[in-house]
Amino acid sequence: MAYNSDFFKKKTQELLQNFYNLTGIKICLYDIEGNEVYYFPQKLSGFCSVLRKNSLMNERCLQCEKRAMAECKKTQSHYQYTCHAGLMECITPVMYNQTLLGYVMIGQIRKKGEDFDKIKQYLCEEFLPLLQEEYHKLPKLSEDKVNSAVCILDACAGYEYLKNIMNSDEQKLDVRIAGYVNSNLTSDLSVQKLCSVFRVSTGELYAIFKEYFSSTPADYVKNRRLGTACDLLNKSQLKVRDVCKKVGIDDYNYFSKIFKKKFGVSPTEYRKSFRI
């Protein structure tokens, strides 16, 4: 059956909803490229929605997810960790015939016995009152209950309907576009090029980006390049000038300008913030 089959959609949504009803924990299904395919009950909790209003915090959230997926991909087993904001999360691989198809992630869980004062040092000061309010709405579980939830998570990842929906040869166009952009950041990613690669008109391309990414093609590509630049600044020893070239931006001054506009700090200042 096709990737977007109504039958598989319904079965997958039921699975995620049943997990949430049983545990009270948010659950997400990601494809191999790290794009969210399904989630329940909502895309982000109130806590994370507030946190991600800050560009630097949002980027740290994205980097945290990428590191978790990288670890899960390497070990091909579930990976339980504490996110940069002090919440518990776990990710497990969706495997079929020893092939990684995607990931299932649960998270935004408060540690039992830990209060807001212990994590507020990791958060942005401008939203602390709102974050504190939303923090107390997050599920709070003991270690035993989290471990039980992880066992159920592993069972979900082995669910045949879920494997079928991830294993289809017919991927949605938005997933294919996201994967192409991520794999070709140093190449031409103009509207004309994307239209040619995916055989759609300019109007169709803009409509796809608006519906699935809430963005224009140019802004989406720019943000993916900046996100990858953050990853390189955090993990590599490359000079800033080399980082901007690695993500397909040849003009160093332009790179510095748009980076600071998005994150509120220069690339050099961003790198220092991770190495204190």
CATH value at residue 123: 3.30.450
Region 23-47 average pLDDT: 86
227 occurs within a structural domain:
yes
Looking at the chain, the whole-number percentage of residues with pLDDT higher than 70 is: 91
Domain boundary among 167, 182, 208: 167
Axis crossing angle, helix 217-235 with helix 252-263, rounded to the nearest 10: 90
Task: Output the average pLDDT for the chain.
Answer: 86
For residues 20 and 34, state if they share a domain: yes
- Provide the CA 143 distance to its chain's centre, in angstroms: 25
For residues 187 and 236, state if they share a domain: yes
pLDDT tens by residue, 73-108:
989 899 999 999 999 999 999 887 677 888 999 988
Region 46-55 average pLDDT: 90
For residues 210 and 97, state if they share a domain: no
Confidence of residue 1 (pLDDT cuts 50, 70, 90): very low
Region 165-176 average pLDDT: 64
Region 247-259 average pLDDT: 93
pLDDT at 200 > cutoff 70: yes
pLDDT at 2 > cutoff 80: no
- The answer to whether the beta carbons of residues 135 and 110 sit under 8 Å apart is yes
1 occurs within a structural domain:
no
106 occurs within a structural domain:
yes
84 occurs within a structural domain:
yes
Query: The domain that contains 211 carries what CATH number?
Result: 1.10.10.60
For residues 125 and 199, state if they share a domain: no
pLDDT tens by residue, 119-164:
888 888 888 999 999 999 998 888 888 889 988 888 888 775 566 6
Region 51-67 average pLDDT: 90
202 occurs within a structural domain:
yes
For residues 17 and 147, state if they share a domain: yes
For residues 152 and 199, state if they share a domain: no
90 occurs within a structural domain:
yes
Region 263-273 average pLDDT: 89
Region 46-70 average pLDDT: 91
Domain boundary among 167, 199, 222: 167
For residues 158 and 32, state if they share a domain: yes
72 occurs within a structural domain:
yes
For residues 159 and 86, state if they share a domain: yes
| Nearest-5° Cα angle at 249, 244 to 251 | 90
Q: What pLDDT, on a 0 to 100 scale, did the predictor assign at position 259?
A: 93
Q: What pLDDT, on a 0 to 100 scale, did the predictor assign at position 175?
A: 80
Q: What pLDDT, on a 0 to 100 scale, did the predictor assign at position 166?
A: 59
Q: What pLDDT, on a 0 to 100 scale, did the predictor assign at position 216?
A: 95
Residue 55's domain spans which residues? 6-167
Region 242-259 average pLDDT: 93
Q: What pLDDT, on a 0 to 100 scale, did the predictor assign at position 169?
A: 45
pLDDT at 67 > cutoff 90: yes
Q: What pLDDT, on a 0 to 100 scale, did the predictor assign at position 28?
A: 92
For residues 132 and 188, state if they share a domain: no
Domain boundary among 134, 167, 200: 167
CA distance 164 to 119: 39
Task: State both tokens at 174.
Answer: 């938005």
256 occurs within a structural domain:
yes
When divided into structural domains, the chain yields a total of 2
For residues 141 and 178, state if they share a domain: no
Task: State both tokens at 128.
Answer: 């602390």
Region 241-251 average pLDDT: 93
Residue type, 112: K
Nearest CA-CA partner of 182 in 32, 6, 67, 30:
32
Q: What pLDDT, on a 0 to 100 scale, did the predictor assign at position 4?
A: 43
Q: What pLDDT, on a 0 to 100 scale, did the predictor assign at position 31?
A: 85
Confidence of residue 246 (pLDDT cuts 50, 70, 90): very high
For residues 75 and 184, state if they share a domain: no
For residues 181 and 130, state if they share a domain: no
